[in-house]
Structure 1
Amino acid sequence: MKLSEWNGDFAGIDYVSFIVIDIDGRMRAVSLPSSYASEAVLSKGIGFDASNFGYAKVHASDMVAVPDMESAFVEQKDNFNILHVFCNVQTMDGQFFAQYPRSVIRAAQHALQASGIGDDAKMLVELEFYVFEDVRYSTTAHHSYYYVESSEGIGEEYSDTPRLGMSQGYHRMAPEDRYQLLRNRAVKTMIDVGIPVKYHHHEVGAAQLEIELDFISMVKAADAVSLAKWILRNEAEGLGLHVTFMPKPMYGVAGSGMHVHQFILKDGRSIFPGEGLYGLSDKGLAYTAGLLSHALTGSLLAFSNPSTNSYRRLVPGYEAPVSATFAQGSRAAAVRIPGYLGKGEARIEFRTGDATANVYYFLAAMLLAGLDGIQKGLDPVALGYAKEKPSEKHIFPMGLFHVLSGLKKDRSYLEPAFPSELIETWIARKEKEASYVYNAPVPQEYELYFD
């Protein structure tokens, strides 16, 4: 891929691609010839059928995609210059559509500012993913299967070739690491388009990789994650590879999460460092308690882990957090305070989420959960979240139906940014997904019960 930041000059641009985010967090686009993309069109936007994006009803689906030109970037592809731009969505009366992902995350940022607690939330997102040379899957009434292959030792073709082991990949180098070229290309493209990257490396699992972005304002971070995932899929396709952000694409291997490091700025300084436990301030501790409390009900997990596959990952034994705990340096805790930071640098890392989330909804819900903790003065130690061995009552609900049930009961903290209609639509959509998956027999059941 050849991407670059836009310098504001339309000269040489062949097409303008309007990017709209659907309810699942996927990027969709419509392309306008530059001859049609006049200043008036770019100012007023273009109409589209929002019912196909998941968050509008058919009888009220006409909406307008209005480009946010500050987000524009250029792609050179097949001898064409394409100006891509993220859009905001408005209703026909010119109001911002409150359920649109970019509207929700901006509303959460406004809630932060209105509270007086902070001016901005800075977030660093870790993207973990698997890469395969071959992927096949099919589900019908008479069969159901998936099949994946990786040159790092996964699949029949590679089962007897030199390989690094299914769980021995962490920070491995070439030649065992077969996918450094993919990471190098993807990271270069991300940097070229203005996405800050901290580093990349091989992860624990065979064929499992990680790219860690750097800190960025929350609203821009959501766009950056969407764009980074799109870049990875395109760079992989160019190499004949397939990328998946599924939390658990195979049985018995390390899962892929989307960890988020974060802190809140007030007057240019983080409010999280202090003299409390693990170097956190009272507000940093209360924010942590808010995250864990709303995760424990299932409500926050309904946005941070919104797929049935999410709960294949959240099982003991794979460094995946399964309980409402926080600790310094522990990768088993749901909230980790990095142990390598100096005095006055404390921040938190929420390790539970994964990339099946709509990142806009996820980051917004997480911020609102933390703010709720601050506003209520919650104490994570008094709530039992600092215990090394948590009790049963601190175990997260482990299933999509369970977390959706929690969302139904625990949703008032989301009101500053999440319209009630959006939450109802989200619950109905995810319950339908859960029914589709949980009602289907799987091969393991044949192994156990066929006779």
Structure 2
Amino acid sequence: MTSENLSGEAERVLDEIEEKGVDFLRLQFTDILGTVKNVSVPSDQAEKAFTEGIYFDGSSINGFVRIQESDMRLEPDPDTFAILPWRDGPEVTSARLICDVHDTSTDAPFEGDPRRVLKNAVDRANEMGYTVNTGPEPEFFLFEEDEDGNATVEYSDKGGYFDLAPKDLAQDVRGDIIYGLEDMGFDVEASHHEVAQSQHEIDFKYDDILSTADNVATFRSVVRAIAAQHDLHATFMPKPIPRINGSGMHTHLSLFTEDGENAFHDDDDEFNLSETAKQFLAGILDHAPAITAVANPTVNSYKRLIPGYEAPVYIAWSDVNRSALVRKPAARTPAASRIELRSPDPSCNPYLAFAAMIHAGLDGIERGLDCPDPVRENIYEFDEAKREEYGIETLPSNLGEAVDELEGDEVIQDALGPHVSEKFVEAKRQEFQEYLVEVSDWELDRYLEKF
């Protein structure tokens, strides 16, 4: 292959690499658990990356392939090119390109690539005449590092929800993170201190769901890198501190038609939700237990999903309170009509979680599911009898139960595809079993001297 095979977008990237004096390219992708991986190549290999791809050992990546079928190829997406807002050395400028993974044995997109899983879901929506937009709200903690640079759980500030300095000592860090994100093309809409000490949220503008998944992966990398420059450790662990609020990633979803109209909006409806929106919402509720395995994929995720700490566990929807799993936020314009799924947390693989949401919602549309009535009371205050009266079920209480739900839900398994579904379940079963055989400090403190 020669430079004649370059697309116009790729040529634009090559020009920018030269103009900006980029020294290295980080070719980025994710494994099935959502960990960002990258291969760094000198910038003079950029043309080769676009025309031939960059080969790597897929057997070394969690959930990819076996040792006897290890050769895989990265194909960079030129639309994802961005200069990294920090230097890898005093005079070293690096840039990032997100890649699609290809199977060299078939020369086809690798179905175990989480980005391919989401693209398949997007294709399904497109075939039904929809574009999916989403806007996530990822939360995170900023903790102190010890003298050796290791992570601790020592608070870096004493602020609370929407606090200002002097309590919110991390304003400068958040400012640097925002500048870095904007340098990489993010449209940051808001940032603030969250409820817990040292907890923060930075919201960026909604976009098509593939771009948003790319942005979530980038967001986590940028937050960690810039926090480290301030000698702080940023963590997206859902519940790093017991008995305080955990970190979520509330996710706003909407469908747009081919003519650019919001398919979720209806002026004549009490909640300004169309029948399509209600069917989509019903699909999300119907598949919520299985979605939980993907959107809340760690043992620790279920330390957040308990009543009393503002995390939703009840499978219901509402337009006025945040105790339900799905909320219909207020919208000033028809284009802003959307639903908000409040259970996901920022430890999830965004590509897989978003794919599960798409398939669940589209299944609701295809089956014409009836949407239940909204619950306008505080479900946290309901006793079990009242929840049964309202027909409100709960999300799985631990990772093992969530994986059981995933294995029993063909729609969400189809969303992931056979390869990812098998590897994901295998990894999560192992994680849960490892957790079950461990003995915690809480158990030692409670039982060691008592019995």
TM-score interval (norm. to shorter): 0.7 to 0.9
Separation in 1 of the partners of 2:369 and 2:94?
A: 49
Separation in 1 of the partners of 2:38 and 2:430?
A: 26
Separation in 1 of the partners of 2:49 and 2:201?
A: 39
User: Which secondary structure does the structure 2 equivalent of 1:325 belong to?
Assistant: strand
Q: Report 1:95-174 matches (<5 A).
A: 95-116=108-129, 118=130, 120-134=131-145, 148-152=153-157, 163-164=158-159, 169-174=160-165
Aligned residue among 407, 415, 418 for 2:416: 418
Q: 2:279, 2:370 within 8 Å by CA — same for their partners in 1?
A: yes
Q: 1:255, 1:318 within 8 Å by CA — same for their partners in 2?
A: yes
Identity of aligned residues (%): 31
Aligned residue among 36, 55, 61 for 1:27: 36
Q: 1:43, 1:67 within 8 Å by CA — same for their partners in 2?
A: no
Unaligned runs of 5+ in 1: 137-145, 153-162
Name the CA shift for 1:277/1:335 in 2 (closer, same or farther; >3 Å): farther
Residue aligning to 1:272: 264
Name the CA shift for 1:189/1:344 in 2 (closer, same or farther; >3 Å): closer
Separation in 1 of the partners of 2:135 and 2:392?
A: 30
Name the CA shift for 1:292/1:46 in 2 (closer, same or farther; >3 Å): same
CA apart distance, 1:272: 0.7
Deviates further, 441-450 or 217-226: 441-450
CA apart distance, 1:269: 1.1
Name the CA shift for 1:180/1:404 in 2 (closer, same or farther; >3 Å): same
User: Which secondary structure does the structure 2 equivalent of 1:173 belong to?
Assistant: coil
Separation in 2 of the partners of 1:114 and 1:348?
A: 22
- Offset from partner CA, 1:71-100 (integer Å, 9 cap, x none): 111236121222321111101131000120
Separation in 2 of the partners of 1:74 and 1:6?
A: 11
Under a length normalisation based on structure 2, what TM-score does the superposition of the two structures give?
Answer: 0.88
Instruction: Work out whether 1:315 is the aligned partner of 2:306.
Output: yes
Separation in 2 of the partners of 1:369 and 1:135?
A: 44
Name the CA shift for 1:130/1:58 in 2 (closer, same or farther; >3 Å): same
User: Which secondary structure does the structure 2 equivalent of 1:18 belong to?
Assistant: strand
Under a length normalisation based on structure 1, what TM-score does the superposition of the two structures give?
Answer: 0.88
Residue aligning to 1:88: 100
Separation in 2 of the partners of 1:360 and 1:434?
A: 22
User: Which secondary structure does the structure 2 equivalent of 1:397 belong to?
Assistant: coil
Separation in 2 of the partners of 1:363 and 1:202?
A: 26
Name the CA shift for 1:288/1:124 in 2 (closer, same or farther; >3 Å): same
Residue aligning to 2:17: 10
- Offset from partner CA, 1:372-402 (integer Å, 9 cap, x none): 11111111216x8777643375111111000
Residue aligning to 1:159: none
CA apart distance, 1:276: 3.5
Q: Report 1:10-409 matches (<5 A).
A: 10-11=17-18, 12-35=21-44, 37=45, 39-54=47-62, 55-75=64-84, 77=87, 78=89, 79-92=91-104, 93-116=106-129, 118=130, 120-134=131-145, 148-152=153-157, 163-164=158-159, 169-266=160-257, 267-274=259-266, 275-295=268-288, 298-339=289-330, 341=332, 345-381=336-372, 389=379, 390-391=387-388, 394-409=393-408
> Which amino acid is the alignment partner of residue 155 of structure 2?
S
Name the CA shift for 1:209/1:7 in 2 (closer, same or farther; >3 Å): farther
> Which amino acid is the alignment partner of residue 55 of structure 2?
G
Separation in 2 of the partners of 1:425 and 1:329?
A: 39
Instruction: Work out whether 1:428 is the aligned partner of 2:426.
Output: yes
Separation in 1 of the partners of 2:145 and 2:23?
A: 35
CA apart distance, 1:38: 5.3
Separation in 2 of the partners of 1:407 and 1:370?
A: 16
Name the CA shift for 1:178/1:246 in 2 (closer, same or farther; >3 Å): same
User: Which secondary structure does the structure 2 equivalent of 1:356 belong to?
Assistant: coil
Name the CA shift for 1:47/1:6 in 2 (closer, same or farther; >3 Å): closer
User: Which secondary structure does the structure 2 equivalent of 1:204 belong to?
Assistant: coil
CA apart distance, 1:223: 0.6
Unaligned runs of 5+ in 2: 1-11, 380-386
Q: 2:144, 2:152 within 8 Å by CA — same for their partners in 1?
A: no
> Which amino acid is the alignment partner of residue 406 of structure 1?
E
Q: 1:23, 1:100 within 8 Å by CA — same for their partners in 2?
A: yes
Residue aligning to 2:4: none
Q: 2:25, 2:95 within 8 Å by CA — same for their partners in 1?
A: yes
Deviates further, 332-341 or 388-397: 388-397
- Offset from partner CA, 1:105-141 (integer Å, 9 cap, x none): 111100001123x1x11111101011111369xxxxx
Structure 1 stretches of 4+ with a deviation exceeding 6 A read: 384-387
User: Which secondary structure does the structure 2 equivalent of 1:127 belong to?
Assistant: strand
Q: 1:135, 1:149 within 8 Å by CA — same for their partners in 2?
A: no
Q: 1:368, 1:414 within 8 Å by CA — same for their partners in 2?
A: no
CA apart distance, 1:329: 3.0
Q: 1:134, 1:150 within 8 Å by CA — same for their partners in 2?
A: no
Separation in 2 of the partners of 1:6 and 1:200?
A: 31
Separation in 1 of the partners of 2:209 and 2:421?
A: 21
CA apart distance, 1:340: 5.6
> Which amino acid is the alignment partner of residue 238 of structure 1?
Q
> Which amino acid is the alignment partner of residue 131 of structure 1?
L
- Offset from partner CA, 1:18-77 (integer Å, 9 cap, x none): 112112212211122233x15244211111111222122222221111111221112361
Name the CA shift for 1:257/1:122 in 2 (closer, same or farther; >3 Å): same
Residue aligning to 1:443: 441
User: Which secondary structure does the structure 1 equivalent of 2:234 belong to?
Assistant: strand
